[in-house]
Structures are given as structure tokens and as C-alpha cells.
Structure 1
Amino acid sequence: MTEQALQLLLDEMFSPMAAEALRAQGHAVVALVERPEMRAVPDDEVFAWAAARRCWLLTENVKDFQPIKLRALQANASIAGLLFTSSRTFPRSRQQIGPLVDALDAWLKTGPPEPPIIEDWLQSA
């Protein structure tokens, strides 16, 4: 998979097993924790990395990423699409990634919203 083809970056709170399962279904997905150079990188750098690759970023971190997105918009900088979710909707567990993977598979098959929409909330499949 080339980075230019990347569809979705999973923020650091998500298991690489979810990315592996989605790649097995044909999706171009990378978990942040699979990229050693991206571990413990500040959120604004994660956003910039995703924006440079024109991919969406899955995160639970709404309070930090929304302001980053707004600053990027104000600066006319590249924007990453933000796909938000919560640990209530999809509890994080290495043993229970199925519901998250199913929902992401459905979201990716439908296709991310077209611009100007740059933000979405992941729903249960």
C-alpha cells in the first residue's frame, strides 16, 4: 500500500489489530502505533501527517482535534478529515475489535463524506 492511497489513519488509542482486519478486507488503513516514527507525536503533527496524505483520521479525541482542524482551516492549510467515535459506542479492547471493524468497514465501503464535509461520527454497523 502506498501512503498516497491511504484512506484512514487510526489514532494511537486504537489497536493495530483493527487496522490489520480492515486491510484484510481490502481497505488502506494504518494504525498510528504501527508507525514507530509516529509514536508519542503531538496531535497537531498527527493531523498534519494525515492531511499531507489526504486521508481521514479516526480518533476519540474531539476536544483536541477540533481546534487543530479549525486552526488549519483559518490558515488555509491542508485538512485531514476527522472521523470521531467514543469508547462508549465502541469500547476499546483487543478482544472486542469486531464492532469497531464492522462499523469502519461499512463506513469505508460507503465512502467518506465528500468535501466540504471534513468531519463525521462513526455509527454502529
Structure 2
Amino acid sequence: MKLLLDEMHSPRVADALRSQGWDAIAVAAESTLRGRPDTELSEFAIETGRVIVTEDSGGFIRLANLGSVEGKPHYGLIITNRSRFPRGSVAYPNTLIEALRTFLAAPPAESDTWIRWL
């Protein structure tokens, strides 16, 4: 499973996951992706077979639903909760890294689309 971490998440999350063998990139660390609208990030994720990890549930769920209607299903969404993973806390990003590792160890069954909340 390949991940695309939305811009609000620290590149350290992607770095830690990559060091453990996962294919993860952080929008915040990629100059070609940083600052791009959600529509373009969604298209990039679909083109590259990546699951989006984001707090922006409304925007990306809307895009995922629209894509499914248009015959462009996404590869999955992992919606994070800012209350559970507050970026200002000392525990961040380790709490998110651990939650994603646990998720990746038992991912959902392969299907066209899925959405999971962490």
C-alpha cells in the first residue's frame, strides 16, 4: 500500500514509514505537490495508486464520491482526527506513525474504494 500524506502532516511521518519499508510520501516535502489544490492531489493519488492520509474529510470524501461516479475510483482514504493527533503536542508525529503502522499491518481487503477513520 502506497500512501500520500496531505500537507498538514509532518514529512517525518512519511520518513519514519519509509524507513520501515512502506512507500509513503508527504505533500509538505514535495515541491511539485506543496500548495496544490485537493483536486490535483486526488488526481495524483489516483494516477500513482496512493491512499490519501488527511484531516480534510469533507473535501476528499466529496472528491472520492465524485471520482467514483465518473469512473475514477480512488485507492482509499485514511481520515485522521486532529483531536487524536494534535500537531502541537509533544507526542506528534509519533502517535500518527504508530497508528498508521498498526493500520498498515492489517489493511482493508482490496477493493475499488474504501474510507477509514483513525
Query: TM-score normalized by structure 1?
Result: 0.85
Deviations, residues 98-118 of structure 1 (Å, cap 9, x unaligned): 111001011112124421442
4+ residue runs over 4 A deviation: none
Residue in 2 aligned with 1:102? 98
Q: Superposed, which structure 2 residues align to 1:35-54 within 5 Å?
A: 35-54=30-49
1:70 Cα deviation from its structure 2 partner: 1.1
1:68 Cα deviation from its structure 2 partner: 0.7
The answer to whether the 8 A contact 1:48-1:78 is kept is no
RMSD between aligned alpha carbons? Answer: 1.6
Residue in 1 aligned with 2:117? 121
1:93 Cα deviation from its structure 2 partner: 3.8
Tell me the matched-pair count: 117
Deviations, residues 63-90 of structure 1 (Å, cap 9, x unaligned): 1111111111111014231110111011
Segments of structure 2 that go 5 or more residues without pairing to the other structure are none
Deviations, residues 14-39 of structure 1 (Å, cap 9, x unaligned): 00011111111111111011210111
Q: Superposed, which structure 2 residues align to 1:81-96 within 5 Å?
A: 81-93=76-88, 95=90, 96=92
Distance 2:109 2:41 in 1: 21
Identity %: 32
Segments of structure 1 that go 5 or more residues without pairing to the other structure are 1-5
Q: 1:8 is paired with a residue of what secondary structure?
A: strand
Distance 2:104 2:9 in 1: 17
